[in-house]
Amino acid sequence: QVQVVESGGGLVQAGGSLRLSCTASGLYFAAYDMAWFRQAPGKEREGVSYVSRTGINTAYADSVNGRFTISRDNAKNTVYLQMNSLKPEDTAMYYCAARGFASSTSWRLKNEYQYWGQGTQVTVSS
């Protein structure tokens, strides 16, 4: 069966960096667009970043643009999120998601993603 597993979360001071990883198995990874979402307590899950199946196209939420970088290695079935200049407002559970087919041009639509990981917690202290 399909498994999506995130790692790399933790506690970091404001201004610090973390690198999240997400490895998917049980699917043909190169056929899936991948995205990172996050959810803070009491808030809706929101899209953070997206990378197309080829890795050519990427997108970012305005709140992280210029600080976060998404990348993927299809040979390793892994997508990464490099997070720099972290802020306390980045504190959230971060989820990785895979989308094999999209009926919309928007990468932010959660219901477009077929597979999700369990999440990794990122906490940024001030």
| Helix (H/G/I), strand (E/B), else coil: 42 | coil
Average pLDDT over residues 21-50: 97
Which band of pLDDT confidence, cut at 50, 70 and 90, is reported for residue 104? confident
Which band of pLDDT confidence, cut at 50, 70 and 90, is reported for residue 102? confident
CA distance 119 to 126: 23
| Beta pairing partners, 71 | 80
CA distance 126 to 124: 7
Average pLDDT over residues 21-42: 97
